[in-house]
Amino acid sequence: TVLETESVLITNPNSKHKDIVELLKHRIDGYITSKKYMMISYNTSAEVLEACAKITPGKRSPTVTSLTDGGHAVSSLIKKNDVVKIMDELHKVGARDILVFELANSRM
């Protein structure tokens, strides 16, 4: 590491524009979150859904959608640093069609 930097948002507690400051804070927080996480999406059978959900619990919980063939499509946020390990674990327990997507921004 050559240089480490830090950004700090400083506000006036007596500002008349608290709503704008809060909006800016949410935008910054969303961008920072989007740089720490990725979205993973995969298909799985009902038999291994619970095991897969334990691997990808997400920030709150995974999004699970039923498929017409009886399986499930699952989407979840995962930390960028864990992507390869999580993909390997999912494949090992039976998940298929595993895709990972970059996030441009977010609101949590």
Residue 37 structure tokens: 């996480």
pLDDT at 108 over 90: no
Q: Is the dihedral of CA 108, 81, 103, 30 positive or negative?
A: positive
Residue 77 neighbours by CB distance under 10 Å: 21
Mean pLDDT, residues 77-102 taken together = 97
- Band (93; pLDDT cuts 50, 70, 90): very high
pLDDT digits (tens, 9 = 90+) for 32-49: 999 999 999 999 999 999
Closest by Cα among 101, 97, 81, 95 to 39: 101
Residue 62 neighbours by CB distance under 10 Å: 22
Q: Is the dihedral of CA 99, 101, 107, 108 positive or negative?
A: positive
Residue 17 structure tokens: 């524009």
